[in-house]
A and B are shown apart, each in its own frame.
Chain A
Amino acid sequence: MKEKIKEVMLRVFQLDEIPDNISQSNCTKWDSMNHLNLIVELEEEFDVSFEPEDIAEMKSLDLVENKLKSIH
């Protein structure tokens, strides 16, 4: 699942690679607009729907993965 999330992030952030520790605080491309784009893409990729509370929390790769695992 981690790899699939990374693929989505590559596409949304237009980066060449996604480090495992990527988070909103250490990635300049991960601004609020791209956060929104990421959520939209993740919802489509994994066929899920996040709650606003989830969206606000999903600020790193680990947190995104945990959230996806918890609703899958």
Chain B
Amino acid sequence: MKYFIFRNYTIEPFFKDFEAEFSGYEDISVVPDADRYVWWYFAPYKINNQTAAGEIENYGNLLEFTFCKIDANKLVFVFTMQPIFCLNYQTKENTVNGAIINYNQKIRKLSEKYKNLKIVDFAEFVKMQGTVSLPLIDWKFYFFSQMPLNPKLANDFSHWFARQIETIELKRKKCIVLDLDNTLWGGILGEDGAEGIKIDETYPGNCFLFFQEYLLELVKNGIILTVCSKNNEQDVIDLWNDHPNLKIRKEQLAAWRINWNNKVENIREIAAELNIGLDSLVFVDDNPTERELVRQLLPQVETPDFPEKPYLFPEFVKMLTDRYFSIYEITKEDREKTQQYKENTERKQFESKFTNFDDYLRSLEIELTIENLSEMNIARFAQMTQKTNQFNLATKRYTESDLRDLDDNGAQIFGLRVKDRFGDNGLTGLLIITNYETAIDTFLLSCRILGKGIENVFLQYVLMRLKEQGMKTISAKYIKTLKNCQVENFYEQNGFILNNYTEEIKNYLLSLRDINYTISDIYKITEI
């Protein structure tokens, strides 16, 4: 991934870990070809505030001018400007700060207008430096080599910036696994009893209340909450039902394992039940022995240290958010995720009432909607390519601009919306057909809708549509990853002919003339 960086100061050491080229200082004369662009201008460290403010205003104009020249399909990461060094000769004066505020407002407006302009909020990095002893500026390097930031912060910056890119690419952890005693409340339920545990408005109960409120907010932001605790399940269920102060009860949880079994096994079971990978989990437990066990046996699971004292929860939740759960923007599907996972559990219970599987499917009243790429769904389409691991035949990761490219090149992009009597799963499937060589480029489904034959109907419906359009043959690929072995034989099952294969890739062909699928009337299918 090649980055080109527009800048007004010496910042090369901060991009050591990236393949990056740099503009001249304040040089916007050329826009060379690159995969991604960065715009990082600092407020000038000037003695005269009018001069500084004038330059800042000009930087905003330079950005607008330059941004227009960059390919609209390429991401441009624009840093917010921060007042790092300002001389306020008069307390009431606001010349430089005012100019910085205007500059930041301008880039935020641009980001609302142009989807490929993504904000990188440098204020977050500046705030983080409050927690380390290094000064933000080492003036020696400023005067010696025009460095606006202490070069010894380069490694911290590199990690931080890599995480910012992840949030823009919509990568984050999906699920948090929580212990109960001394994690969600103070004290031990089995010993102190429901009246003895600490969760109220006084210290230390207010710290745990703070943490529970945070977890509730995570749910609203689409993170799945689960519990893994050594306790008597009935005691906890009684507490959930009766304790007035709890914020997190069974309604907020997508799954729990409350028993005396090994936590490693319990965590494995939770991941399996929710159909998500272990590397999507963050495990939070106050007990260092349990944490160590999980670190040793489940290294894919993130296991952060737990705060030593309850009053340190704010720093802890800030760390959890920044490191694991923040994301550039949240889609509607994300927000409804816990609800959807719960609905799926209800569906599983419902299933046992039927002897005939088709009867069961029919009773679900499944409605499938197939929709083409649009500005309304492009963020979700890109997110599905980034996040779907298990039911994903080729596992190609796309950004919004990649999808626009495909669309411009004539690809047919079909999204699938799935609804049944228990609820709306939203956009949960994606099928991309390229046309320069008629091929299935991407076929994926979210795991939460599997087990109902939807994957077959979706594929077959689209293939029949292509046949009607007059296409003769279509090729397809299965590309093996660590996580997608469940779909290893999916194309065979749908009548594709295996053409050739290696360890990693299976290539298929299908003659559309030979197929004649009957789409079952179990599913109500509409196209929009």
Contact = CB atoms under 8 A, between A and B. Distances in A.
Contacts of B143: 52
A44 B151 CA distance: 11
Interface residues on A, range: 10 to 19
Contacts of A49: 140
B12 A33 contact: yes
A34 B144 CA distance: 14
A40 B151 contact: yes
Given A51-B140, A52-B140, A36 B152 contact: no
B145 interface: yes
Between B12, B16, B140, B147, the greatest number of chain A beta carbons within 10 A of the residue's beta carbon is seen for B140
Between A32, A40, A55, the greatest number of chain B beta carbons within 10 A of the residue's beta carbon is seen for A40
A68 B249 CA distance: 62
Interface string B49-93: 000000000000000000000000000000000000000000000
Given A36-B13, A40-B152, 13 more contacts: A32-B145, A33-B13, A36-B10, A36-B141, A36-B144, A36-B147, A37-B13, A37-B16, A44-B152, A52-B140, A52-B143, A52-B144, A55-B144
A37 B10 CA distance: 12
Interface string B2-34: 000000001011001000000000000000000
Interface string A23-40: 000000000110011001
Contacts of B147: 36
A36 B140 contact: no
Interface string A52-69: 100100000000000000
Contacts of B12: 33
Contacts of A44: 152
A66 to B, nearest CB: 20
Nearest to A37: B13
Smallest CB-CB A-B distances: 4 pairs:
A40-B151, A52-B144, A36-B145, A33-B12
Contacts of B141: 36, 40
27 contacts: A32-B145, A33-B12, A33-B13, A36-B10, A36-B13, A36-B141, A36-B144, A36-B145, A36-B147, A36-B151, A37-B13, A37-B16, A37-B151, A40-B13, A40-B151, A40-B152, A40-B154, A43-B152, A44-B152, A49-B140, A50-B140, A51-B140, A52-B140, A52-B143, A52-B144, A55-B140, A55-B144
Contacts of A50: 140
Contacts of A43: 152
A33 B452 CA distance: 59
Contacts of B144: 36, 52, 55
Interface string B123-144: 0000000000000000011011
A42 to B, nearest CB: 12
Nearest to B145: A36
Interface in B141-200: 141, 143-145, 147, 151-152, 154
Nearest to A55: B144
Contacts of A33: 12-13
A43 to B, nearest CB: 8
Contacts of B10: 36
Contacts of B13: 33, 36-37, 40
